[in-house]
Amino acid sequence: MFDKPKIPSHNCTGCGACKNVCRHNCITMIEDEKGFYYPIIDKSICVNCKACIHVCPVINTSPKREIHQTYACKNLDEKVRLSSTSGGLFTAIANYVIDRGGVVIGACFDKDWNVRHEYAETKEDVVKFKGSKYVQSEVSNIYPVLKNFLKEKRLVLFSGTPCQVAGIRSFLHRDYDNLILLDFICHGVPSRKVWKKYLNDECGLSYNKELELNRNDGCSIIGGTIYDRPIIQSINFRNKKTGWQNYSFSLTLSNVSADGWQKTVSHSMIAWNHPYMKGFIGSLYLRPSCYSCPMKGFRSNSDFTLADAWGIGNYIPEWNDDKGISLCIIHNKKAEKILGYLSGIEIQKVNKEIIDRHNEAAYLCPDRNRRTNRFYNLMKKNVSFNEIIDSCFPKPSMLDKIMWSINQRIKTYVKNKK
């Protein structure tokens, strides 16, 4: 007999803390019809110890925290900065950990372009964690790995969404001097199923990441077989070639012709116009718990919270070069001390009001899109991803555009009055 946990499914963040705390292995994370993972309890082996209830960061939500300090940061290595989502601060913190023989745990793509948490022990391997990935990461399997590294007394950096950090912190039960917890200001997470729907329908892709057999002339064949479908070489949700504030979604594909020649093509589109990004930004297919996120107000117990330093031109005008600036929110003395040790980073204090004015997602949940049910109903009918997005985001009328413009002006006026 299987049962669901004590909280409503629409409140569950899928962090996996309950699964990992259960000593009887009676909890399994099962994917629902929308592609989100939820814990299911096998009542036949459950001893009702309530460990899962005590560890749940939603049932046992931490109070809102005061901000210790706020900084704007940028990496002095231009290549690192331009290839990062914001200003390259994460790379500097990760390098600090690696330089001390530590381990970095973060979200990366696997060979099938799903997103999962893995660990890295070299600076070269840390690169896979760079850049935003707007898909919920599979994190539950990293818990025992992280705990073993802590037992070995190695310095560990864990980065993830606020709910993932809260799950890790609750699972460990106590503070560790050798653990650094880093989250970011989060809009919400789409499911793996929606992400794969986009890749399948929009791109018609084969997911093999690596070309296994190279010809002498530099062209490649996949495992000795000619593929007639394009193969993904790279995905970047926040490509800055069009600017940090006007970023693009970019996809690099390769195709191998019948005679073995490889052709590589890059596709790029401004995020606001891109089908998948439009649905993400428009809160069309976020996890249900994201619409009432229990971690808003910095409740995750992270040491660092990172974000884009939107509006930096109002605080440090000379930094407003559209190449990306990181906002670093410090929550304790541990994080303050580490920030002072970082090399290759320029840092300036900024007023905490930058969060209220330009990063409302730190405190406010996204509004549920009124066309969310339509999206999932059309997805069940196997309508193409592009058609679904067009249906859910019809072209605005002239009146819609005027009302939107008025609304934006009002928001700007109210912000500037604060």
Where exactly are the structural domains of the chain? Answer: 2-55, 69-191+285-362, 192-268
**Which pLDDT belongs to residue 9?**
84
Q: Where does 166-309 show beta strands of DSSP type E?
A: 179-184, 213-214, 220-221, 231-239, 248-256, 262-270, 304-308
Instruction: State the pLDDT at residue 325.
Output: 99
Residues 322, 243 contacting (CB under 8 angstroms): yes
Write 125-132 long-range contacts (CB < 8 A, 24+): 126/91, 126/94, 126/95, 126/98, 129/90, 129/94, 129/104, 129/159, 130/83, 130/84, 130/85, 130/90, 130/91, 131/83, 131/84, 131/85, 131/236, 131/237, 131/238, 132/85, 132/237, 132/238
pTM: 0.88
Specify the pLDDT at position 255.
Answer: 77
Top-level CATH class of 2-55? alpha beta
**pLDDT confidence of residue 211:** 37
Q: What is the pLDDT of residue 264?
A: 79
* 277 closest CA partner among 135, 159, 83: 135
Supply angle C-alpha 327, 62, 139, rounded to 5: 70
Separation between Cα atoms, residue 203 and residue 196, nearest integer Å: 10
Q: What is the pLDDT of residues 362-372, one digit of tens each?
A: 999 999 999 99
What sign results for the dihedral spanned by CA atoms 350, 352, 356, 357? Answer: negative
In angstroms, how far is the first alpha carbon of the chain from the final one?
Answer: 55
Dihedral sign of CA atoms 141, 143, 146, 152 in order: negative
Residues in the chain predicted with pLDDT less than 70, given as ranges, are 1-6, 204-229, 256-261, 400-401, 408, 411-418
pLDDT (0 to 100) of residue 225:
41
